[in-house]
Amino acid sequence: MISFYFGRLMEIFPFFLKGLWMTSKIGFISLVTCTLIGFILGIFRSSDSTILKRMVGVYVAFVRGTPFVVQIFIVFFILPEWGVQLEAFSAALLAMAIMGSAFICEIVAGGINSIPKGQWEAATSAGLNRIQQLRLVIIPQAMKVILPPLVGQYVLLIKDTSVVSVIGIMELTRVGWVTVVRIPEGLMVFTLVGFLYFIISYPLILLSNYLEKKMAV
């Protein structure tokens, strides 16, 4: 019986690859957007302006304080009520961007805050403006602190893409969920799904471990 189901599973394997492609697509797009927004928010969060700091702080607290599923439901169900129509794919990307950028913002702000005040002062007295200070002096040094947890956050982001399956996006987890109805071998189907996730996220985990060792002073 098991070998029969295994054969069936192999027949629909391309379906799984499609899911893997969708997962990688969502993962990659949200990785890029989250990094961009996260860096901008992180710079705001570590700035001297109290209002900016507070506003970003509220946003981060809201995102970190609620589960990702609830955030997806809020984006997918509530925004249409307020007149913003989104299809599932863009809703998923939006939810991922909101969630990921808040976490990356905290990492970036932590990295920037770890740079001693003297570096800022030196950059100011060298006649650099605010953007040059960040670009040439602060960020390159902060990268050492930012990079290891950032890669760790990427792993979490890729794993969190599994949650967007709840709004019906045909990514890897959803494919497994649909398959298990037809092939009632839960262990086999979800071992395959887990294995495919493992292939994407394990190299990133190794990279994160490597960076952590390398960047440790």
Partner 1 sequence: MLVDFNFRVILEYLPLFLTGLRSTFFIAIVSIALALITGIIACSCRISGIKFIKYPAIAYIEIVRSTPLLVQIYFLYFGLPTLGLKIPEIQTGILALMLNSGAYMAEIIRAGINSVDEGQIEAGISSGLNYVQRMRLIILPQALGVTIPPLLGQNIVLVKDSALLSLISVMELTRCGQTMTSERFMPTEAFLTVAFFYMCIYFCLKALADWSQRKLIFREAY
Q: Which residues bind partner 1 (CB under 8 A)?
A: 61-62, 64-71, 73-74, 77-78, 81-82, 155, 159-163, 165-166, 172-173, 176-177, 180, 184-187, 189-191, 193-194, 197-198, 201-202, 205
195-205: buried (b, 16+ CB within 10 Å) or exposed (e) per residue?
A: ebbeebbeebe
The least CB distance from residue 198 to partner 1, in Å, is 5
Burial class (CB in 10 A: 0-12, 13-18, 19+), 11: exposed
- Tokens describing residue 18: 């499609």
Least Å distance between CB 62 and partner 1? 7
Minimum Å distance from CB 133 to partner 1? 30
CB of 90: closest distance to partner 1 in angstroms? 18
Q: Shortest gap between Cβ of 131 and partner 1 (angstroms)?
A: 33
Return the number of the residue (35 or 161) whose C-beta is nearest partner 1.
161
Q: Quick one: 58 or 136, whose CB is closer to partner 1?
A: 58
Q: Which is nearer to partner 1, 40 or 73 (CB)?
A: 73
Between residues 141 and 159, which has the closer beta carbon with respect to partner 1? Answer: 159
**Beta carbon nearer to partner 1, 128 or 200:** 200
End-to-end CA distance of the chain: 56
Query: Hey, how many other C-beta atoms are within 10 angstroms of the C-beta on 133?
Result: 17
CB hemisphere CA count around 199 (13 angstroms)? 11
Q: Which two tokens stand for residue 115?
A: 């740079």
Q: Shortest gap between Cβ of 160 and partner 1 (angstroms)?
A: 7
Rounded Cα gap, residues 39 and 16, in angstroms: 34
- Which pairs with CB-CB distance under 8 Å and at least 24 residues apart come from 76-85? 76/167
Q: What is the DSSP letter of 66?
A: S
Nearer to partner 1, 64 or 135 (CB): 64
